[in-house]
Homo-oligomer: A and B are copies of this chain.
């Protein structure tokens, strides 16, 4: 049964990445027989996960034979919520099964750090508020996925530590099942963005790639052979806290020399503060503006961040040798990390092989990147759930 499950999911996954594809093409792409695909797609249709495209006669002009029937995700079948908890508030997005947004909402938070029960209560009310927008209730959701900054063991909804939560080592399974009326999943926010790149973004169809997220901190999601790699204790991929300098700059985490302490938003603002030219709420966008209008010090702050970032990325390539590295961020605020000089730094740090460097792709998401990431993970988890149910009910 586990085997069958996996086959169904593989077919579903392939339909998702291809968008619309015929049974024959699935069979040849997955190196399996048409009979198996017929069986699998029949099940997936029964579960409401996919559907046949109505518009008949897609037969290529001048091509004989029975035309292929295209299959695609059944977008309207399920609604999934993605949440990202940040200090300013909770971003929520509702998406259909294809990942298209149907509603979004920003829930304010009184305090950036909450107890576990406050945390779950906030999630619940953010969820209710958003569902109300489309005249639905949280009960109607097929799943909810929650992204938090910090160290999370996603397999057991266990949070070692998060900047949003006052207590350490909390198992959220019970709290969530009590207070959220649908299946709920948690993970580290960078992992979720990696999931989004894999399902909908620049990682579509790739097997082995890394997603680096840049914003306040620097995060990493590792996808190896199509799977998110999480490490033994569920707390790997802490790229932002790899050390780039012995006893270097002080980081938020309390340690010294972390990459994040040179590249994260707060690090840049801290540097600008040293120059004395800082006002209350300076942002990285402001630093960009200054640099562009000729401020040498601002330019130098950005440039050094880029060099350190490039060093870090070259280390990732040296260790993982991935197909591709995707740099993802919400705004245009990380342009300084994608310059030719940064690329040169990366190149000069990667061990020299006569094979092309892994492609480095840049993805500028909008504000909802993190929430969309959570939604992507939610869609994947719901798929797994539905397939499991389906087979459990097949006698």
Interface residues, chain A, with chain B CB atoms under 8 Å away: 151, 160-161, 168-169, 208, 220, 222, 224, 229-239, 241-246, 253-255, 257, 307-308, 311, 314-316, 318-323, 348-349, 351-355, 358
Report whether B308 and A246 are in contact in the complex, using a CB–CB cutoff of 8 Å.
yes
Which partner residue on chain B sits nearest A345 by CB separation? Answer: B246
Q: What are 15 A-B residue pairs whose CB atoms fall within 8 Å in the complex?
A: A160-B355, A168-B354, A231-B321, A235-B351, A235-B353, A236-B320, A238-B318, A238-B319, A243-B244, A243-B311, A245-B245, A246-B311, A255-B348, A255-B351, A257-B349
Q: Point out the residues of chain B lying under 8 angstroms from A242, CB to CB.
A: 314-315, 318-319
Report whether B253 and A151 are in contact in the complex, using a CB–CB cutoff of 8 Å.
no
Report whether A241 and B161 are in contact in the complex, using a CB–CB cutoff of 8 Å.
no
Q: Which 9 A-B pairs have the closest CB atoms?
A: A231-B321, A236-B321, A238-B318, A242-B315, A238-B351, A241-B351, A160-B353, A233-B355, A232-B323
Q: Point out the residues of chain B lying under 8 angstroms from A323, CB to CB.
A: 232
Q: How far is the CB of A194 from chain B (nearest CB, A)?
A: 14
Which partner residue on chain B sits nearest A318 by CB separation? Answer: B238
Q: Point out the residues of chain B lying under 8 angstroms from A322, CB to CB.
A: 231-232
Report whether B234 and A321 are in contact in the complex, using a CB–CB cutoff of 8 Å.
yes
Report whether A233 and B321 are in contact in the complex, using a CB–CB cutoff of 8 Å.
yes
CA–CA, A222 and B320, complex, Å: 10
Q: How far is the CB of A61 from chain B (nearest CB, A)?
A: 39
CA–CA, A161 and B355, complex, Å: 11
Q: Point out the residues of chain B lying under 8 angstroms from A169, CB to CB.
A: 354
Instruction: Give the contacting residue for A151; candidates B229, B315, B353; CB below 8 A.
Output: B353
Which partner residue on chain B sits nearest A245 by CB separation? Answer: B245
Report whether A224 and B233 are in contact in the complex, using a CB–CB cutoff of 8 Å.
no
Report whether B239 and A307 are in contact in the complex, using a CB–CB cutoff of 8 Å.
no
In this complex, the member of A168, A244, A353, A358 whose beta carbon has the largest number of chain B beta carbons within 10 angstroms is: A353
Q: How far is the CB of A1 from chain B (nearest CB, A)?
A: 14
Given contacts A243-B311, A246-B311, A314-B243, contact A319 B353 (CB under 8 A): no
Which partner residue on chain B sits nearest A308 by CB separation? Answer: B246
Q: Point out the residues of chain B lying under 8 angstroms from A314, CB to CB.
A: 242-243
Q: Point out the residues of chain B lying under 8 angstroms from A235, CB to CB.
A: 321, 351, 353, 355
Q: Point out the residues of chain B lying under 8 angstroms from A208, CB to CB.
A: 231-232
Given contacts A224-B229, A246-B307, contact A253 B321 (CB under 8 A): no
Given contacts A208-B232, A236-B320, A321-B231, contact A254 B315 (CB under 8 A): no
CA–CA, A50 and B139, complex, Å: 57
CA–CA, A313 and B185, complex, Å: 32
Q: Point out the residues of chain B lying under 8 angstroms from A254, CB to CB.
A: 352
CA–CA, A351 and B258, complex, Å: 10
Q: Point out the residues of chain B lying under 8 angstroms from A316, CB to CB.
A: 319
Q: Point out the residues of chain B lying under 8 angstroms from A311, CB to CB.
A: 243, 246, 257
